[in-house]
Amino acid sequence: MASASCLMLLVAVAMAMASAASGQLSSTFYDTSCPKALDTIKTAVTAAVSSEARMGASLLRLHFHDCFVDGCDASVLLADTGSFVGEQTAAPNAGSIRGLNVIDNIKTQVEAVCKQTVSCADILAVAARDSVVTLGGPSWTVLLGRRDSTTASKTNAENDLPPPTFDLKNLTDNFANKQLSVTDMVALSGGHTIGQSQCLNFRDRIYNETNIDAAFAASLKSNCPRSTSSGNTSLAPLDVATPTAFDNKYFVNLQANKGLLHSDQVLFNGGGTDNTVRNFASNPAAFSAAFVTAMVNMGNIAPKTGSQGQIRLSCSKVNS
Ligand code: HEM
């Protein structure tokens, strides 16, 4: 066989295996093995988000940072040890990801109702959904049955998680590498309707970019000085209009040049995604539907199923 057709066959087999793996996920996966799992997670997420709204954003982001690095397998939750380097010290995660204790706490409660049955990867997927719902966003049925990794990769976290300096083409390619469409990419970026960013991630934009509303930039500068020696960690909301509501205002902001990150504003900057942004800004139901579809697609990235991986007893470490 010519090497080109050999390669095509291999690609076809790999794609079939990938879709077979996500095909094994099921919304009823814990219905008999742990009927209380979903209620237990929902109660805990609702409590955590009620006491701090930002936690909903942090939990949504954790699921994203899990799925984009070797699939949705809870690899992001593995803590470094003396002999193990995981993903938490990778640049996009270090000093930035939050909610690890909340997930550990949920896992403890889920273990108390069903021993070693519910994976940490599934807890992340359900907690992301419940966070969005608690902050007023759409709901969806979460497919379940992911298993947890026994490894993690700092290198893959650095390579596969998009930085805020990315342009539209970088973002499109990065999401395409995860089998996500441009529409999925724009819809998922709408996750920035909640949560906050540190100054270091938007400093360059507010001081150097021109496609930014002048008053918006000025209002951010007092808390994010030009000099890096003055600090990097002060926070600003990713959605200046409605910082803790899961709504479509993120897209309305983009139309007014009020995207906080460079990677936000590139979605509405005269390029191929302008019309999608206009649609999501003017039609909340269109955004909700696209976000739900995209979250399910993201949750289907390379799950471990069957006898792959393990069900961790504690989300922060592999079973001994
Ligand atoms: C499109 C590419 C993306 C880039 C470049 C990006 C970049 C960032 C950056 C730089 C931050 C601030 C982190 C910090 O300052 O500590 C952030 C926060 C956040 N991101 Fe993204 N992100 C992207 C996509 C996504 C996706 C797909 C989701 C979820 C669907 C998401 C959800 C969030 C949330 C909710 C926060 C706030 C977290 C918190 O307040 O704890 N992001 N993102």
Note the pLDDT of residue 229.
83
Note the pLDDT of residue 2.
40
The pair of structure tokens assigned to 76 is 């992001």
Overall average pLDDT of the 255-280 stretch:
99
Overall average pLDDT of the 206-230 stretch:
95
State the chain's mean pLDDT as an integer. Answer: 94
Note the pLDDT of residue 24.
85
pLDDT band, very low/low/confident/very high, at 228 (cuts 50, 70, 90):
confident
Closest of 275, 46, 306 to residue 183, by C-alpha: 275
Note the pLDDT of residue 57.
99
Note the pLDDT of residue 22.
54
Question: Alpha carbon of 287 to those of 64, 141, 239, 251: distances in Å?
Answer: 18, 17, 15, 9
**109 contacts: CB under 8 Å, gap ≥ 6:** 40, 44
- In one-letter notation, the amino acid at residue 162 is P
Cα gap 170→192, rounded to integer Å: 18
Domains of the chain: 25-161 (1.10.520.10), 179-297 (1.10.420.10)
Q: What is the pLDDT of residues 57-71, one digit of tens each?
A: 999 999 999 999 999
pLDDT band, very low/low/confident/very high, at 230 (cuts 50, 70, 90):
confident
19-23, 84-88, 256-260: least confidently modelled range: 19-23
Ligand 1: distance of its center to the CA of 295 in Å?
A: 14
Pocket of ligand 1 contains residue 64 by CB under 6 Å: yes
Would residue 65 show up in a list of annotated catalytic residues for this protein?
Answer: yes
What does the DSSP 8-state code read for residue 236? E
Percent of the chain with pLDDT over 70: 93
Residue 190 has pLDDT above 90, yes or no: yes
Residue 4 has pLDDT above 70, yes or no: no
Overall average pLDDT of the 252-277 stretch:
99
Note the pLDDT of residue 231.
84
pLDDT band, very low/low/confident/very high, at 6 (cuts 50, 70, 90):
very low
Residue 17 has pLDDT above 60, yes or no: no
pLDDT band, very low/low/confident/very high, at 23 (cuts 50, 70, 90):
low
Note the pLDDT of residue 12.
43
Note the pLDDT of residue 7.
37
Atom 27 of ligand 1, residue of closest alpha carbon: 188
8 A C-beta contact, residue 265 and residue 277: no
Cα gap 77→316, rounded to integer Å: 5
Note the pLDDT of residue 60.
99
Atom 5 of ligand 1, residue of closest alpha carbon: 164
Catalytic residue among 54, 65, 129, 205: 65
Which helix (H) or strand (E) segment holds residue 198: the answer is strand 196-198
Overall average pLDDT of the 104-111 stretch:
98
Which residue among 197, 233, 260 has the greatest number of ligand 1 atoms within 8 angstroms of its CB, and so is best to mutate? 197
Residue 263 has pLDDT above 80, yes or no: yes
Ligand 1: distance of its center to the CA of 259 in Å?
A: 13
Residue 72 has pLDDT above 50, yes or no: yes
